[in-house]
Amino acid sequence: MRIVYLDDASRKNLLEDLLKRSPNQYGEYEQRVGEILKQVKEEGDQAVFAFTEKFDGAKIDASNIEVTKEEIEEAYTIVEPSLLDVIRKALVNIEAYHAKQKQYSWFDSTPNGTILGQKVTPLARVGVYVPGGKAAYPSSVLMNVMPAKVAGVEEIIMATPCNKEGKVTPATLVAAKEAGVDRIFKVGGAQAIASLAYGTETIPKVDKIVGPGNIYVALAKKAVYGHVSIDSIAGPSEILVLADETANPRFVAADLLSQAEHDELASAILVTTSKELAEKVSKEVDSFVEKLSRKKIITASLENYGYILLADSMDQAIEVANEIASEHLEIVTKDAFTVMTKIKNAGAIFIGEYSSEPLGDYFAGPNHVLPTNGTAKFFSPLSVDDFIKKSSIISYSKEALEPIHKDIISFANAEELTAHANSIRVRFEEQ
């Protein structure tokens, strides 16, 4: 891996380089995505079937687009019992973590007759997109579905690509069943997002679409926002490891590669104050790459967006970490919890050498759907909050309104909204 000394110029170049990974930088795809969305909106099922055959090589129609009970049962016979056991254990942790996020309606009253409150209502129907391209992600099923279940969403619809034989990855089906998905459709890409956003003869329209995907999925979600809600526009995966001389270079190298294997645009960055650690990590990375199955993808990722950054001080290292605002941030320093208090921007923070990123991906419980491309500066991980909506409750008696009604009238008149003022005034005309 390349080793770069941190200064103003290298920081600027790095940040500009990382921004190139954003889905917002791929305008040449937007026209293609727009055409797909338009066709699905106008033609419904027929467009979905045609695009599925074109892009996935599968002949899908109204009779087989929805996954059947029998297909799910078949998936259970294929998936290894050990994997099923792990899925169930992970679900326990994921549900327990998200249960702590649940919000409830509340009301406050006063003796003079005011009632103020907030009504919390789960979304009625949510669409979950699950990729099926370079890798299958049953873990994404669990992470996207479980907070929706905890929130109380009435119906969860899943869309995921099938293979040329019209089959969905068995592990994905099993994870969906275990998590509580209601219906599953064999459709991927931008056409899947369009069908969930607009609805077709077969696929119902949803209120919100969540889940990661390729550039076509990301741009499609961006385009349909407003017709439906979305979680975020996810970019390529990324990890930043903040380490000092106490870190284990072999552990650090392994953790960097855990994200580099996602795709060629993934980013893996080490920021350290130790030149010795930097050199050792670089050697360990080279050694690991030769042994790993996704060598080609990893190599491209490291060449494109892999960096080892040498900082003059831990304060400078922390400052850079906050600027990058990584999806995953590991802190491997002698005073890791103190460093953590200075971190302002990160999707998920992993503390200590035994808290590696895959722990969060699969098992610990916190959600692994995280903000990318610097959006951790203003976005949060997927949570129960993403699957609810809030309504304000306001109730005043005449006795409560009377002392303040002239103030409201005055405010409305100041804004030249006389009908607003009148709406209050008519209630006290006899006075």
Catalytic site residues? Answer: 327-328
Partnered with residue 114 across adjacent β-strands are 396
Rg of the chain over Cα atoms, rounded to whole angstroms, equals: 25
C-alpha distances (whole Å) from 411 to each of 46, 394, 419, 428 are 55, 19, 12, 17
CA distance 148 to 362: 18
CA distance 410 to 416: 10
Q: 76 with 70: CB under 8 angstroms? A: no
Chain centroid to CA 395: 37
What DSSP assignment string belongs to 119-158? Answer: EEEE-SEEEEE---SSS--HHHHHHHHHHHHHHT-SEEEE
- Sheet containing 106-109, strands listed edge to edge, beginning at the edge strand earlier in sequence: 106-109, 114-122, 388-396
Token reading at 189: 């890409």
Token reading at 303: 């060449």
Chain centroid to CA 92: 20
Q: 104 with 170: CB under 8 angstroms? A: no
DSSP 250: H
